[in-house]
């Protein structure tokens, strides 16, 4: 490659990698697979090696991880750098590393162990008690303080059974597959976007500002290194593991100690064969020097230790035949196609299904029933279809099209504007009904205590619930319900019926959340009802007035308009009103001093929690947004305000302190 071509390609690769690094580390929302990312990074490394004068200090190849996210918590300076590992992708590269170590060291031992796919975290203990938990952040200078969240992870020990003066350990916070599936099931019920994979779910959960959410989601942790210790000494990495086990600290104990390159490669292959049977994701195998003294001798570069490498397994893929396309209907009516194919073994498990996402994805691959397809599973739970082997297509096949009618109820389907999603238009579709009702009675909506999923399913099955409004007609069937024992005996039945009656008094924002309108969650519902005051007013709203509501974009506005344009939905709302369900917003501002103003709250405030500050602003008629834009009136900034403060300064938006806000409220 000519130098000018290389320079252009390097610039392009750096730009792409910066984008994907931000999506992965800072937004916890990757758009490409690890394999695709690694391929780009390897290409950049090769070009920089060929043209060393084009290497710059800010190249992605020269840095560790992402950035420390100031708005997520207090920043903590690293005592020991939390470096990345050098990735290798072939047996030759692994053997080259082993041979290099054998040349530099006398009879070295190698430890081969799992590389867990999660979020790196360091735990610091003083005199046996956990003091601080910190994420990797930028890896060199600062990480985020996540101590409160770390303490609700069951694998994190608050006290050491064998205490020392000081101990810092590093591990990987991850999510077991069963917990990940549960979290995504709850996301679906709440009408929220599911997480892409367990790693991103774990990362987002560890950074939660509410430790209750962290605890509910059930994170786990493996410790893979002792970073620093005072009061005890070890000669090897494996001796350190034995000490950690005595303290009941989970370590990656399924490791092998090897002395030759053949043994190392055998251990890597054994992990690869076993990874499909694990209850969590791994994205490789780590080969590290066992002797701690040898590690000191070898040292590290600015990015990676010289005494370890991470072998990344290639994505496993198998050829199979597409037998059928199965359609399912979700709570919001979204129709999801799933490929049904002849079973194949991937990463140690037998799979026969893979999501096809939507019609655009099907068209892109030109998928047809009867095709030979390539299916892969790269460190994720759900297999994916990589491509169609069109050269093996035989006979007459037809392009697959999603149906124009719902496969469950036969109602018309409609493709949402500006999206690839196809939805059933009927609010009474049986496939949607159970999930809609579960969402309606849930904690984030009408919060009807004791209305469990089992009751919902049984009441729908027996025909008592044909739409959401039927919930408020259940009292008319009290005797039948008791007689059939659907909810239980008289006491349980009356308890649930009382809870349903009480829910009629809820604020209209809870009711709007319960409708399950796509893109209208709890926060959006509150903003909308703060503006329109009642469900009745909202029904009469036009697109322009909806878009003017803070945090409501065109997509959300269209979803609201579509909901109230549907006659069945309107009849359902009218029935609820007839049953006495409150349709009015109860939230009344104490004043109007901040009316018409939009605030963004960021950073750590001196005395107020951010939620408290937001409530004070809203009580005086102001609005609180989660992002800074030209519509923002003021930014309330505390310590470590981060990127939102920077953006406000760039846009010339006034920035105030907590003291200044309280002064404004006093004047009100």
The catalytic residues are: 115
Residue 321 forms beta bridges with which residues?
Answer: 372
Which pair of tokens denotes residue 44?
Answer: 């950049």
Q: What is d(CA 255, CA 267) in angstroms, rounded to the nearest whole number?
A: 8
Q: What is the dihedral of CA 274, 279, 283, 286, to 10 degrees?
A: -60
Q: What is d(CA 550, CA 283) in angstroms, rounded to the nearest whole number?
A: 41
User: Are 135 and 118 in contact, with CB atoms under 8 Å apart?
Assistant: no
Q: What is d(CA 372, CA 375) in angstroms, rounded to the nearest whole number?
A: 10
310's enclosing H/E stretch is strand 308-311
Q: What is d(CA 58, CA 180) in angstroms, rounded to the nearest whole number?
A: 35
For the chain, the straight-line distance linking the first and the last C-alpha, in angstroms and rounded, comes to 68
- Output the CA angle 420-422-427, nearest 5 degrees: 140
In angstroms and rounded to an integer, the radius of gyration of the C-alpha atoms of the chain is 28
Of 640, 613, 191, 653, which is closest to residue 432 (Cα–Cα)? 191
Residue 328 forms beta bridges with which residues?
Answer: 336
Helix runs in 26-144, H state only: 34-50, 91-104
Three-state secondary-structure class, residue 77: strand
Question: How would you classify the pairing of strands 75-77 and 142-144?
Answer: antiparallel
User: Are 618 and 666 in contact, with CB atoms under 8 Å apart?
Assistant: no
Of 280, 250, 32, 274, which is closest to residue 180 (Cα–Cα)? 280
321's enclosing H/E stretch is strand 316-329
Q: What is d(CA 49, CA 384) in angstroms, rounded to the nearest whole number?
A: 34
Which pair of tokens denotes residue 642?
Answer: 């981060």
């Amino acid at each position: 490659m000519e130098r000018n071509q290389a320079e252009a390609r390097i610039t392009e690769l750096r730009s792409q990698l910066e984008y994907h690094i931000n999506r992965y580390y800072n937004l916890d929302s990757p758009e490409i697979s690890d394999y695709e990312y690694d391929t780009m990074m390897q290409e950049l490394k090769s070009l920089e090696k060929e043209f060393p004068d084009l290497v710059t200090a800010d190249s992605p190849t020269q840095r560790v991880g992402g950035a420390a996210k100031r708005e997520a918590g207090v920043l903590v300076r690293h005592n020991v750098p939390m470096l990345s590992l050098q990735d290798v992708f072939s047996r030759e590269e692994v053997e080259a590393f082993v041979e290099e170590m054998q040349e530099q060291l006398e009879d070295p031992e190698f430890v081969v162990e799992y590389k867990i796919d999660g979020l790196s975290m360091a735990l610091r203990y003083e005199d046996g008690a956990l003091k601080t938990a910190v994420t990797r952040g930028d890896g060199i200078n600062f990480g985020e303080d996540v101590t409160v969240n770390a303490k609700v992870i069951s694998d994190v020990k608050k006290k050491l059974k064998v205490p020392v003066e000081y101990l810092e350990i590093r591990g990987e916070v991850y999510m077991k597959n069963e917990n990940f599936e549960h979290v995504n099931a709850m996301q679906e019920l709440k009408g929220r976007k599911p997480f892409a994979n367990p790693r991103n779910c774990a990362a987002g959960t560890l950074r939660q500002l509410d430790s209750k959410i962290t605890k509910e989601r059930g994170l786990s942790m493996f410790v893979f290194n002792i970073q620093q210790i005072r009061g005890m000494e070890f000669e090897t990495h494996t001796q350190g593991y034995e000490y950690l086990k005595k303290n009941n600290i989970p370590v990656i104990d399924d490791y092998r100690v090897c002395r030759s390159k053949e043994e190392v490669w055998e251990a890597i292959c054994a992990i690869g064969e076993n990874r499909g049977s694990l209850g969590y994701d791994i994205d490789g195998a780590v080969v590290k020097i066992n002797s701690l003294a040898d590690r000191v001798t070898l040292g590290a570069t600015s990015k990676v230790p010289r005494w370890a490498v991470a072998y990344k397994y290639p994505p496993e893929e198998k050829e199979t035949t597409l037998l059928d396309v199965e359609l399912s209907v979700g709570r919001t009516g979204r129709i999801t196609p799933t490929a049904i194919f002849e079973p194949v073994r991937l990463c140690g498990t037998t799979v026969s299904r893979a999501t096809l996402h939507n019609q655009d994805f099907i068209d892109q691959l030109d998928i047809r029933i009867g095709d030979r397809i390539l299916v892969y599973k790269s460190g994720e739970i759900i297999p994916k279809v990589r491509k169609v082997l069109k050269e093996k297509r035989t006979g007459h096949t037809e392009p697959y099209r999603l149906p124009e009618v719902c496969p469950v109820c036969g109602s018309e389907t409609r493709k949402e504007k500006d999206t690839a999603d196809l939805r059933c238009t009927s609010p009474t579709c049986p496939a949607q009904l159970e999930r809609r009702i579960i969402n309606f009675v849930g904690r984030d909506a009408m919060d009807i205590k004791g209305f469990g999923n089992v009751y919902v399913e049984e009441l729908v099955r027996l025909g008592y619930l044909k739409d959401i409004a039927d919930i408020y007609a259940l009292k008319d069937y009290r005797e039948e319900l008791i007689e059939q024992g659907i909810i239980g005996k008289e006491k349980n039945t009356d308890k649930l019926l009382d809870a349903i009656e009480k829910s009629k008094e809820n604020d209209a924002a809870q009711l709007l959340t319960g409708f399950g309108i796509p893109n209208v969650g709890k926060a959006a519902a509150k903003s909308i009802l703060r503006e329109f005051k009642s469900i009745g007013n909202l029904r009469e709203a036009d697109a322009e007035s909806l878009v003017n509501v803070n945090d409501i974009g065109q997509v959300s506005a269209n979803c609201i308009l579509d909901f109230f344009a549907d006659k069945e939905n309107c009849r359902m709302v009218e029935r609820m009103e007839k049953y006495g369900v409150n349709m009015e917003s109860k939230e009344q501002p104490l004043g109007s001093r901040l009316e018409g103003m939009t605030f963004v709250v960021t950073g750590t405030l001196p005395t107020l929690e951010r939620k408290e500050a937001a409530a004070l602003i809203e009580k005086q008629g102001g609005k609180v947004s989660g992002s800074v834009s030209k519509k923002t009136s003021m930014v309330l900034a505390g310590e470590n305000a981060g990127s939102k403060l920077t953006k406000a300064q760039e846009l010339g938006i006034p920035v105030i302190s907590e003291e200044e806000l309280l002064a404004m409220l006093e004047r009100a």
